[in-house]
A and B are shown apart, each in its own frame.
Chain A
């Protein structure tokens, strides 16, 4: 429906309702009128404003009690009119204001709100708001003339009372908004009157009278009930900041206010007028700072981000306008700002950063125009305030860290960080003050104290983790890293802030000063060592600038940037790293003395290898080097036997932190770190080979970081490219094994992570290793054995030999023999031929055939050798393997079982690798046979187990070379032990499967079949094996033994199907064989007609499998 735009028509349209309302003030009449008002357009309504308002105001003016409903309707109608029109006359404004206020206040006490319905109050407040917004610019300022003071005061106190006491949040918020509008500080979306500076001063002057009231009451609202909802708090903060900003504005106060003596006609009102003198400003600021302190403490850690955002706004607003007049509060305001600079809510953070940038910009622009002394002093002041705050915060930091909860800690630390960021380049000036640096560093040292009571850290071992994780991606390392536990906090966010504080210090501070200072702390006491290292790591990271810069580009944009150059950074890194990797700080004990392995290491240390400066005085040197070792270890743990878990943990963490540090440094320097790899890579690898899981993981993670930072694509590349540096250290340290027992470990790590391109370089190191081993078998064997194992493992990986290939090809070969159809005629022909041969017939023919056989193998040899007369040099991996195998022979009889087991593993790998050159393998096999035989026949079951595995591998690679020895020396014992154990395992319970005896049985049964096949054993031996294994076909045996036994028989069947068929049928024969011709003898087998027994199932299974190929075809040709 179109609105009425003609004033005359509108007048005629509205008139009846107006008249009716005047005559009879009732809610329905008001509603009729307000309904009609909506049909009139704004311009027309403006013309009829006075006319329309009259009946409505009349209703309000009628004395006597009125119904709430009626007043509410009237207020709504007036609101509608005011929202759509302007108030042009001062009288209307003034009268309406007082009339509306009257509606709200109680009739008895005009200062207090009446007990009215909430809807009514809301309506009236809305109406008031509309009124102020509707007031014309030229009349609205008359509100702030001195004469208006009482009326204004009443309105303000009324609104404050509503804002504070009301229960409804809406009313509270509306009242506060109204108050804001009343001081012409409204921030809603409507158009507002913009006061000139002169007018502003007038308003400010008037409002000064009410400032105490407003600030007190609003502060009460802000700090009041926490549950009142953020909207009210936000609004209240807004009112507070606007009110203070208006009255205390520097611009107003600076232009000296002309003091007009209040005109005499004001009378008592004149007493209310306030003259903003210097003294007044000062005392007011003092009072305000008290309030501000309360407000800040109450809101800066408020849970709702809007409140915190509003606090930032407040601080920004006041700092921008009143930083001079509110001198006392500047510190507080900055603190509030700074505290929010790392707010978790990005909007707060952003706003805060903008605010801080403005602050520091203002600060710097002041200092640049520093010819005015006052300006300069204010800047000075500002910096002073900041560093003062920083200092006091640092002083109280340790206490706060111990006493307050995590949230409070986070806030405090955020504040701390904020100060640093705000100070920017000035941080280095602040740090130059010894007192500041001391405070800050002590605080950090205390806060970052680690909790080292976790037991499992020490317990975790990683004997093989390096090998297993070698192919894993770098992420897996970071995922594994153990979280640090701190004594004084648990929240991860706190650590993040602390680390950023360190980075910021490094970014702005003097890197030399910082590293020197923290290195001093590091050296000073073991209590500070870990913390100092953590701080150093982050300081260097920060100094590199790649972390801080991305976050706070705005803050230091104008100022001079970071202080450290690349060269400085490098020098600092070198000195820190030197300290980290120095003997005392790097070779920490991480394994408790009780563990077996460590005792061996210890044993290794005690009689150091003799290395004399001149060949004569060996003994003295020996003593001396002993002293060196004991002192180096003594300094870190007074007596190693008493080193508690606590200490070990602490050591582990220290190493981890230092390893992280090296990674940090590489990231800080990027490719410039490459030259430093010369000294740093070796120590890191040393730790990567450590047994303590946490340390080795940290080291691996650090290796990944380093390789990324230095531009290497993988660990392999990192190691290969720097293998010369590593091998250099290894080779030197191998000769000083007593001082550097870690050298073999480094080699192990290298081998694990590298590839065959390393071999040429490693070659001579291996010779070193072997020589070092030769020189002292007793003491170093354990240590070197792990190296040899790693070496052989690596070689086996780099040169996958035929050993593995034949294993793979074993499958297909098997099936081919199965499928081969045995033709009995050919068999018989062949049999006859053999028989004739044996009798001497046709020897001449066959001789030539025999002679033809050897040449091909000779040809092969010639090809292999490559030259006719020179024996080709063995590929280096084979010659290394040979050398290692040689040592294994000696080590096989070492008294330590552990070592023997390890050697057997190495031996197996050696055999695998050598298998590609039979010429080399067979002599070696021959040489190691006696020692191996000892292990197989007269050793601990564990050793027998491993030795048998080696035997299987040997059988696989050497084949019939070993046949005679095995059948003579090994098989009898094995079969005997199998036979002996069979009744035991048949009766044993489920626990038996956990015993060594069971494992041995299983291993022997699993390997025996293929061994027999490879060795091509004779009939007698097969019978013996068969005999020994038959008991295991019993269904009373553990199921896995049965399976293993079945596998033995499957292999045996391939060697000699007929004999096995017979043997099995002797045991149990499922069917009777009727001869196809009556002339033939009937088949008699022992197993025939036997009832089902314990062997039946397995025998039947085997026969069924065999009949698929063998049994059926044998019978066929006969018929």
Chain B
């Protein structure tokens, strides 16, 4: 039975620019927070209890912030801007200062990917600098906080710019793996330690706009500027296998996000809508309509109590909408 269309439980406004990226931090005992990065280079830290911006930091000299995340162990904020910088922020005790920066040299839209290897140590993957001669992008991986370079991954064929990256640590096998989507619609699986390409799949005819990967089921999904999402699987031999596609009503997906419990997939559509799918069978569940412009980011919150979980959507219309959806039966399955 279909129910009346849901509405957001609340919206956050006042970001003052299109919202490129969202990141929740709700696992702690303190107030749940939502970080947002705007097209005007401002990072807002929203207090989800008072529903107001608790702190506003500007650090990318007005350039668009395309990615924000937190380092869980050190409680630091990391942000990537189109000023070709990745900044590490110290936010403890009311401070808001940049403690370190990494120069990426990339003006593209590709978001970084972060992986905690051991306590306090991270791997950061980002799309590398573009030069006149190397038109196709390469991926650089460095260690944090030491900033020592780990490797550079360059594809042997011309695939165009790197569009999206996902770094992950498989349960078996030695080193971390990396999934990357390229401008020509290809997906590549890289072995970071071996610095070698493991598999290649042509998922889309258009550039891969976004991808997300479920490390438990070893299954991922990617979106493009066309009217479909394509899902794929990484098998035991680390081969990428394309699986079924999901047709969309309108073309264009900015971001995809799978909920922690691997049950729900959310897509941020260029058609101003957020779509929800059952992750298992990719069954369409709901269309969330509120925004009046492209939705550019979706994120599920990391609340410890599954009933409190939220979905956030950030849009070009400068608003963030928060939804409480499919939470009722969360604990029973």
Contacts and interface: CB of A to CB of B under 8 A. Distances in A.
B4 A628 contact: yes
B13 interface: yes
B292 interface: yes
Contacts of A874: none
A613 B5 contact: yes
Nearest to B284: A614
A771 B293 CA distance: 13
Interface string A687-726: 0000000000000000000000000000000000000110
A767 interface: yes
B2 interface: yes
A743 to B, nearest CB: 12
B292 A614 contact: no
B292 A771 contact: yes
B13 A624 contact: no
Contact of B11 (A612, A621, A732): A732
A613 B286 contact: yes
Given A620-B2, A736-B7, A764-B317, A611 B13 contact: no
B179 to A, nearest CB: 29
Given A728-B13, A761-B14, A624 B317 contact: no
Nearest to B53: A724
B2 A727 contact: no
Nearest to B10: A728
Contacts, number: 69
A167 to B, nearest CB: 79
Contacts of B8: 732
Q: Which of B5, B14, B284, B318 has the most CB of A within 10 A?
A: B5
Contacts of B51: 678, 724-725, 728
B5 A611 contact: yes
A615 B287 contact: yes
Nearest to B6: A613
Given A612-B287, A614-B286, A621-B2, A767 B292 contact: yes
Interface in A612-661: 612-615, 617, 620-621, 624-625, 628
Nearest to A725: B51
Nearest to A620: B2
Interface residues of A, number: 29
Interface in A719-761: 724-725, 727-729, 731-733, 735-736, 739, 761
A625 B4 contact: yes
B5 A612 contact: yes
A807 to B, nearest CB: 37
Nearest to A738: B4
Counting chain A CB atoms within 10 Å of each CB, the highest count among B2, B12, B249 belongs to: B2
A960 interface: no
A613 B2 CA distance: 8
A895 interface: no
B289 interface: yes
A675 interface: yes
26 contacts: A611-B5, A611-B289, A613-B2, A613-B3, A614-B284, A614-B286, A615-B249, A615-B287, A621-B2, A621-B4, A625-B5, A675-B50, A678-B50, A678-B51, A724-B52, A728-B10, A728-B13, A729-B10, A731-B13, A732-B10, A732-B290, A735-B290, A736-B5, A739-B4, A764-B13, A768-B292
B319 interface: yes
Given A611-B5, A615-B249, A736-B7, 20 more contacts: A611-B4, A612-B5, A613-B4, A613-B5, A613-B6, A617-B2, A621-B5, A624-B4, A675-B50, A678-B51, A724-B51, A725-B51, A727-B13, A728-B11, A731-B319, A732-B7, A732-B8, A735-B289, A761-B13, A764-B13
Given A624-B2, A675-B50, A728-B51, A614 B7 contact: no
Contacts of A620: 2
B295 to A, nearest CB: 15
Nearest to A675: B50
B51 to A, nearest CB: 6
B15 to A, nearest CB: 11
Contacts of A731: 11, 13, 319
Contacts of B319: 731, 764
A867 to B, nearest CB: 19
Contacts of B286: 613-614
B157 interface: no
Contacts of A768: 292
Contacts of A771: 292
Contacts of A628: 4
Contacts of B6: 613
B237 interface: no
A764 B318 contact: yes
B49 interface: yes
Contacts of A729: 10
A817 to B, nearest CB: 51
Contact of B3 (A624, A678, A724, A735): A624
Contacts of A732: 7-8, 10-11, 290
Nearest to B273: A615
B212 to A, nearest CB: 21
Question: Of residues A612, A628, A727, A761, which shows the largest number of chain B Cβ atoms within 10 Å of its Cβ?
Answer: A612
A768 B13 CA distance: 13
Given A614-B286, A675-B50, A724 B5 contact: no
A727 B4 CA distance: 22
A735 B49 CA distance: 24
A586 B289 CA distance: 26
B90 to A, nearest CB: 28
Interface string A580-622: 0000000000000000000000000000000111110100110
Contacts of A728: 10-13, 51
A682 to B, nearest CB: 11
A767 B249 CA distance: 25
A67 B249 CA distance: 126
Contacts of A625: 4-5
Contacts of A739: 4
Interface string B1-32: 01111111011111000000000000000000
- Lowest 9 CB-CB distances: which A-B pairs, in order? A611-B5, A625-B4, A728-B11, A613-B5, A732-B7, A613-B286, A614-B287, A615-B249, A728-B10
Interface in B168-212: none
A732 B290 CA distance: 7
Given A621-B5, A735-B290, A675 B49 contact: yes
Interface string B239-267: 00000000001000000000000000000
A732 B318 CA distance: 15
B292 to A, nearest CB: 7
B287 A613 contact: yes
Contacts of B10: 728-729, 732
B313 to A, nearest CB: 13
A678 B2 CA distance: 30
Contact of B13 (A612, A615, A724, A767): A724
A1072 to B, nearest CB: 77
Among A611, A613, A620, A727, max chain B CB count under 10 A is at A613
A10 B172 CA distance: 133
Contacts of B4: 611, 613, 621, 624-625, 628, 739
A880 to B, nearest CB: 16
Contacts of A678: 50-51
A703 to B, nearest CB: 20
Tell which of A620, A728, A732, A771 has the most Cβ of chain B within 10 Å: A728
Interface string B37-72: 000000000000111100000000000000000000
Contact of A724 (B14, B284, B287): B14
Nearest to A629: B4
A614 B247 CA distance: 13
A116 B8 CA distance: 97
A617 B14 CA distance: 34
A611 B4 CA distance: 8
A735 B7 contact: yes
Nearest to B9: A732
Nearest to B287: A614
